[in-house]
Amino acid sequence: MATKAQLEAELAVLKSQLAATDAKPVPKPDPEPDAEPEQPHEQSAFANLLKEHGVDSQDIDALWTQFSSELSDLPEKKPLLTAVAAFGLGFALGRMSKS
């Protein structure tokens, strides 16, 4: 078993080695080629599809914000409905997992 003096000497050596090395940030690895971002023509096709139906991307953002705020307020405003929905969802998932 190492003594306290030996451990302190080893700690001093390690601290000096750490101080001697420069703290360089580790470069992040490049993303894998499989995880390519969505192509611009796909984005424009989606935007064109939205325009055909008279929907703007800002409308979608506003609706998403409204939906998320209403969903987060649901347990506070309607706790019984939340409990019944949670029970129903759990029951349905339980029945499906038995199949």
Token pair for residue 23?
């703290």
Q: How far is CA 36 from CA 30, 45, 67, 86, in A?
A: 11, 18, 30, 37
The gap from C-alpha 77 to its chain's centroid, in whole angstroms, comes to 27
| pLDDT score recorded for residue 37 | 57
Tell me the residue type at 48: N
Least confident stretch, 9-13, 40-44, 77-81, 95-99: 40-44
Each residue of 51-73: pLDDT tens digit?
Answer: 888 888 788 889 999 999 999 99
